[in-house]
């Protein structure tokens, strides 16, 4: 392994013995994670003064600091205030600002939690928080108020509550392990957890969301891969936000995962002054696909406390999607989503491509601005569907368990359902009607 100068220098300052042989040991990296302003200053040579220094102390009292030596080594100390790694890892005093629209739990993950650790929001899948800690605390973390608040790894007993919930909830076919970072758990614990979850008959796939390939790539050890391989199909999503994060070390970690046979996805967060630029995003998605990672989601920054300086208008995300769709490979573009405050889930957003309709034509535009028409078929016979699939002559071969009732907009589109509208609770107009009767 060739180490760069920044890594040499940081390792020397940490150990004071000119020995960098531990650099790739993930436990060494964790043990020496930078958790205070003073440590940061010592290792980077950067110094903060006066009011800013006082406010930074307040900031880190409120939201803990943790940076792995590896991720720290990516910071350009000469121009740190504009550095995307610095902004994500160290942040700044802006985090003390709270605006009235910000919430500690903007996605109502706690409210939608049937048991400790589980958020059950969608019909067929759950989010399972299996750790409360991360090797690097992202300054833009949605779960900022919680993650790292109390540094703890849940015990088997605590995790068992979540596992029991999944076991007795047959609709759950997809379990998303998240946190914190699930790879903060010791190997044996990961092995145990995956064996428990994968032994549940109705669980078809497991996913793991981790930022380790980005902030502590040495965590992806051969031993870990050996464990994970036992639990296919296992999908792994990581969190690269900037092309700068794709380094020799992170590429090696990602290659191990891809060679292990795990489909890899990436979830980026759109962050002001970090990646809110179509060229940066295009460069990022190209590097991701070169490393066998499929861009999955681009998230609009949530309304979490202390994130206002990271938020961009939604228009910025649409502009970025405009510059990706058509301009580059379809599999290189993520879906841009807004996680609805209050727990409504992820809402995809895109530029508009449909310009107009008539009964026989649709007018569309492409990425170049060319306006085109699509002729609708003359002879399409709509099939009346009453959802009585056994009597239907389409050979659907529907397996068991796929008989969930239609909900939401899907229900409005169904022939066999006479719902005409979806009406918000406490609609005043209907209230008045009730009073007339």
Ligand X SMILES: *Cc1c(COP(=O)(O)O)cnc(C)c1O
301: annotated active-site residue: no
Cα-based torsion angle of the residue sequence 326, 324, 341, 410 in order, rounded to the nearest 10 degrees? 10
d(CA 273, CA 352): 26
Interface segment toward ligand X; rule CB under 6 A; list 11-19, 61-69, 115-123, 153-161: 115-123
Using CB under 6 A as the binding rule, whether residue 127 contacts ligand X is answered as yes
Using CB under 6 A as the binding rule, whether residue 42 contacts ligand X is answered as no
Using CB distances below 5 to 8 A depending on partner kind, what does residue 121 bind out of ligand X, ligand SF4, none? ligand X
The correct pick among 35, 42, 121, 173 for binding ligand X (CB under 6 A) is 121
d(CA 429, CA 97): 40
Q: Specify the DSSP class assigned to residue 433.
A: H
151: annotated active-site residue: no
Measured distance between the N- and C-terminal CA atoms of the chain, rounded to whole angstroms: 80
Using CB under 6 A as the binding rule, whether residue 194 contacts ligand X is answered as no
Q: Where on the chain is the footprint of ligand SF4 (CB under 6 A)?
A: 134, 137-138, 141, 143, 147, 179-181, 211
Q: Give me the least distance between CB of 182 and ligand X, in Å please.
A: 14
134: annotated active-site residue: yes
d(CA 349, CA 300): 10
Please give the C-alpha separations between residue 283 and each of 244, 295, 330, in angstroms, as whole numbers.
10, 12, 15
The correct pick among 176, 224, 228, 324 for binding ligand X (CB under 6 A) is 176
Using CB under 6 A as the binding rule, whether residue 173 contacts ligand X is answered as no
- Number of residues that this document lists for the chain: 437
Which tokens belong to 295? 């861009």
Please, which residue, 138 or 228, has the CB nearer to ligand SF4? 138
Task: Please tell me which residue in 35, 42, 122, 316 is annotated as part of the active site.
Answer: 122
Using CB distances below 5 to 8 A depending on partner kind, what does residue 147 bind out of ligand X, ligand SF4, none? ligand SF4
Number of residues that bind ligand X (CB under 6 A): 7
302: annotated active-site residue: yes
Using CB under 6 A as the binding rule, whether residue 87 contacts ligand X is answered as no
Interface segment toward ligand X; rule CB under 6 A; list 38-46, 61-69, 116-124, 361-369: 116-124
Using CB under 6 A as the binding rule, whether residue 125 contacts ligand X is answered as yes
122: annotated active-site residue: yes
Helix or strand holding residue 156 (H, E): helix 156-167
Please give the C-alpha separations between residue 78 and each of 44, 45, 46, 231, in angstroms, as whole numbers.
10, 10, 9, 45
389: annotated active-site residue: no
Tell how far CA 266 is from the center of its chain: 7
167: annotated active-site residue: no
277: annotated active-site residue: no
Q: Give me the least distance between CB of 65 and ligand SF4, in Å please.
A: 11
d(CA 300, CA 344): 14
53: annotated active-site residue: no
Interface segment toward ligand X; rule CB under 6 A; list 38-46, 118-126, 145-153, 181-189: 118-126
DSSP string spanning 242-274? SGGG--HHHHHHHHHHHHTT--EEEEEE--TTT
Please, which residue, 147 or 185, has the CB nearer to ligand SF4? 147
Task: Please tell me which residue in 42, 121, 161, 167 is annotated as part of the active site.
Answer: 121
Using CB under 6 A as the binding rule, whether residue 197 contacts ligand X is answered as no
Please, which residue, 33 or 176, has the CB nearer to ligand X? 176
Task: Please tell me which residue in 139, 143, 146, 287 is annotated as part of the active site.
Answer: 143
Please, which residue, 134 or 175, has the CB nearer to ligand SF4? 134
Question: Is the CA virtual torsion 123, 171, 160, 175 positive or negative?
Answer: negative
Interface segment toward ligand X; rule CB under 6 A; list 114-122, 130-138, 251-259, 303-311: 114-122
Using CB distances below 5 to 8 A depending on partner kind, what does residue 143 bind out of ligand SF4, ligand X, none? ligand SF4
125: annotated active-site residue: yes
Please give the C-alpha separations between residue 24 and each of 3, 138, 238, 259, 272, in angstroms, as whole numbers.
10, 21, 20, 20, 31
Contacts 24+ apart (CB under 8 A), 398-401: 401/170, 401/173, 401/202
Percentages (nearest 5) of helix, strand, coil residues in the chain = 35, 15, 45
Residues forming the active site: 121-122, 125, 134, 138, 141, 143, 302, 339, 346
Note the residues at the interface with ligand X (CB under 6 A): 119, 121-122, 125, 127, 176, 346
């Amino acid at each position: 392994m060739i180490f760069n100068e920044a890594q040499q220098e940081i390792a020397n300052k940490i150990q004071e013995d000119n020995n960098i042989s531990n650099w790739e040991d993930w436990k060494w990296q964790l043990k020496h994670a930078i958790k205070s302003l003073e440590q940061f200053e010592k290792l980077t040579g950067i110094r903060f003064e006066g009011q800013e220094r006082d406010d930074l102390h307040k900031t880190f009292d409120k939201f803990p600091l943790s940076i792995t030596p590896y991720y720290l080594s990516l910071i350009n100390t000469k121009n740190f205030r504009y550095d995307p790694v610095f902004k994500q890892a160290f942040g700044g005093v802006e985090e003390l600002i709270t605006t009235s629209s910000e919430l500690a739990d903007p996605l109502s993950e706690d409210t939608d939690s049937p048991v400790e650790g589980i958020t059950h929001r969608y019909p067929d899948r759950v989010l399972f928080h299996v750790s409360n800690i991360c090797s690097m605390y992202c300054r833009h973390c949605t779960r900022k108020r919680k993650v790292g608040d109390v540094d703890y790894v849940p015990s088997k007993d605590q995790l068992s509550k979540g596992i029991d919930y999944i076991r007795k909830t047959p609709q759950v076919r997809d379990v998303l392990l998240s946190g914190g970072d699930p790879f903060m758990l010791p190997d044996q614990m990961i092995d145990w957890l995956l064996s428990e979850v994968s032994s549940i008959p109705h669980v078809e796939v497991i996913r793991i969301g981790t930022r380790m390939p980005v902030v502590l790539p040495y965590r992806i050890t051969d031993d870990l891969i050996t464990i994970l391989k036992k639990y296919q199909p296992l999908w792994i999503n990581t969190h690269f936000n900037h092309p700068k994060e794709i380094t020799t070390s992170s590429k090696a970690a990602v290659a191990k995962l891809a060679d292990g046979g795990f489909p890899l996805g990436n979830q980026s967060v759109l962050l002001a002054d970090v990646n809110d630029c179509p060229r940066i995003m295009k460069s990022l998605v190209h590097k991701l696909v070169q490393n066998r990672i499929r861009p999955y989601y681009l998230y609009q920054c949530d309304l979490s406390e202390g994130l206002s300086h990271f938020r961009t208008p939604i228009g910025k995300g649409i502009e970025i999607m405009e510059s990706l769709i058509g301009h580059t490979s379809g599999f290189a573009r993520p879906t841009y989503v807004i996680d609805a405050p209050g727990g409504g889930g992820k809402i995809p957003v895109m530029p508009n491509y449909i310009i107009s309709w008539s009964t026989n034509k649709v007018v569309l535009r492409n990425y170049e601005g060319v306006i085109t028409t699509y002729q609708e078929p003359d002879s399409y016979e709509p099939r009346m569907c009453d959802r009585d699939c056994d009597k239907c002559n389409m050979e659907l071969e529907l397996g068991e368990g796929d008989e969930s009732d239609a909900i939401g907009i899907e229900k409005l589109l169904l022939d066999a359902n006479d719902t005409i509208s979806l009406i918000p609770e406490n609609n005043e107009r209907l209230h008045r009607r009730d009073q007339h009767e």
